[in-house]
Structure 1
């Protein structure tokens, strides 16, 4: 897996909206952080101020922005403004030839999961992390710092407390994953990912509990779970239920779906639609350690698998 070059102060990053429309006033503070705190220059996409129904401009506008930023050798990273829906509409319009020859960081989460998975299939790392609209949210300060650390090449080293549902073990593999709805959405497309031997992380927001179960069954039936090295379960936020209750929490639904497998599993990892959305470098080989006294996720380089 190719890792794009770490950013350095003075580098230029592109800012783009690949999905839903953006209130430009809300992302001005994020631009200020990138320029004044991180010491980077920015190129603003036309999509940041474009509107077409719910989208940040037409598919043509958004695709043109993304293509320009992928092809420009002076742009060293591309950061998404927000998710919502719409990025998967663009993927078959994009020519990744220049990007493959000159890889750069692409950042986003939620709907942008489709883009990150497509890039994974190009053998290039990307970053599942907070986006411009969410840079300044209360409680998100450390999440923003984890993004800065990944982009600037600092080593990955996360630790969280134990959870009673955790399944113990140690795994080594590439990080893949993101939004559960998007991961099921791309199955059968050329953005679909092979999860064999990898450490999958999952999150979602605003879904019905029965829908979480349906999507987990889809992952299971399509063979996405049986050969995992490990599973990281993130935030499942603002979930809904029917009048006749489903009877299980999201964590319990996922626990049932993977009960027959022997790989380590951890729950309530800080990734997803909460302020504590830690940056996850997709494609990075990491070591997941799940023990009674906590969970660790670290870069596999220089870390022995005990």
Structure 2
């Protein structure tokens, strides 16, 4: 189910589901949402709260998210930033009202856990840049991609070829996000079925051996074998040991999926870089990996 597109005059909420945030850093983004996008922005208590590294205690963040989910006037909810902590809340959230009246939930990185949980409710959510990062240098196209999806424009992405791409076409629901979080929620109530889906992956600041371990986990748990397609995003600031692991992040992923036949594209603009295009989790899309480019579009857009 797709949430209703935003319209000018709608109210949207900002909460902090994971790490604490400096509210002063959010003010330019809030001004943009109000003055340019024409939205009424409601600030949650968690945005102003702090408890050690978190944006308030688990109770504060849970209550804040619950209030935004249950408020019929709030048409979209943005997590101010990621970090760590959103998965601590999920078993305490009641999604009953949200299921009756879906709204956009937006975030990435640690918020992958929330997006995956919402996917189990058969509701679309948005893996996209967050208010802390809206105005970062080089992120203009990412912000515009978020606006387009929120306001109901069709998905229509084209990226350049990559030498490691595996050609082909795939159709299926778009799922994915941060590799570490997808690994973390495996076996939990937020774990999702990958069969027939188009998976996108990204990560930041991980050791190469750890990326390999997470990919092997996905492979051994059967997550990869029945994918329709794979989109490999940014793997930023990867770390290595004194004794080198011997493979890049892309090579690690390539090896993990080498025995399968689905199309794979590398270098897609999603992840912990300014180029982080909005990806609607749960959307039916078509992925085409061709010799002249990579195309990711809404199924309905292709058929019309």
Tell me which interval the TM-score lies in, with the shorter structure as reference length.
over 0.9
**Pairing 1:116–2:119 present:** no
* Cα distance, 1:224 vs structure 2: 0.6
**Pairing 1:260–2:278 present:** no
Instruction: Give 2:68's aligned residue.
Output: 69
Instruction: Give 2:54's aligned residue.
Output: 55
Write the mapping of 1:276-295 to structure 2, written as runs, cut at 5 A: 276-295=275-294
Write the mapping of 1:177-192 to structure 2, written as runs, cut at 5 A: 177-192=176-191
Instruction: Give 1:171's aligned residue.
Output: 170
Q: 1:91-137: per-residue Cα shift (whole Å, max 9, x none)?
A: 00100000000000000000000000000000000000000110010
Is the CA contact 2:154–2:301 (under 8 Å) kept in the aligned structure 1?
A: no
**Whole-Å Cα distance in 2 between the matches of residues 237 and 304 of structure 1?**
35
**Whole-Å Cα distance in 1 between the matches of residues 101 and 210 of structure 2?**
39
Instruction: Give 2:31's aligned residue.
Output: 32
3-state SS of paired residue (2:302):
coil
Q: 1:139-190: per-residue Cα shift (whole Å, max 9, x none)?
A: 0011000000000000100001100100000000000000000000000111
Where does structure 1 differ by over 2 angstroms across 4 or more consecutive aligned residues? none
**Pairing 1:220–2:219 present:** yes
Instruction: Give 2:194's aligned residue.
Output: 195
**Whole-Å Cα distance in 2 between the matches of residues 150 and 33 of structure 1?**
17
3-state SS of paired residue (2:300):
coil
Number of paired residues? 304
Write the mapping of 1:238-277 to structure 2, written as runs, cut at 5 A: 238-277=237-276
TM-score, normalization: structure 1?
Answer: 0.99
**Whole-Å Cα distance in 2 between the matches of residues 69 and 172 of structure 1?**
33
TM-score, normalization: structure 2?
Answer: 0.99
3-state SS of paired residue (1:66):
helix
3-state SS of paired residue (2:239):
coil
- RMSD value, Cα: 0.8
Q: 1:26-57: per-residue Cα shift (whole Å, max 9, x none)?
A: 01111001100100001100001100000000
3-state SS of paired residue (2:25):
helix
Structure 1 unaligned blocks of 5 or more: none
